[in-house]
Chains A and B, each alone.
Chain A
Amino acid sequence: MSVPGSWYLILAATLFGVGAFGLLVRRNILIMFMCLELMLNAVNLTLVTYSRMLNDIAGQVSVFFVLVVAAAEVVVGLGLIVSIFRGKRQVTADDLHILRG
Chain B
Amino acid sequence: MFPYLETLVFLPGVIGVVIFFFPSEFPKRYYKGLGVAVSLVELVVAAAMLVQFKTGVGGYQMVSTYHWIPTFGIAWSLGVDGISLFLVVLSAILFPIAIFGSKETKDPKSFIAWMLILETACVGSFLVLDLFDFFLMFELTLIPTYFLMSNWGFSLGGRAAVKFFVYTFLGSAFLLIGILALVFIHDGGTGQVTFSIVALAHTQMSSTAGRLIFLAFSIAFLIKAPVFPFHTWSPDAYSQSPITAAIVLGGVMAKLGTYGIIRFDFQLFPQASRSLGWLILTLAVAGIVYGAVTAAGESHLSRLVAYSSLSHMGFIVLGLFAFTQIGLSGAVLQMFNHGIYTAALFLLLGMIYARRKTLDTSKLAGIQSKAPIMAGIFTVVMLASIGLPGLNGFVGEFMILLGTFITHRWWAVIGVSGVILSAVYMLWAYQKVFHRRDPEQRSFKDLSIREIATLVPLVILIVGIGIFPNVLLSRINPSVHKVLSNSTTQSIVYHSSLGKVAGR
Chains A and B share a contact (CB less than 8 Å):
no
Q: Which residues of B contact A (CB under 8 A)?
A: none
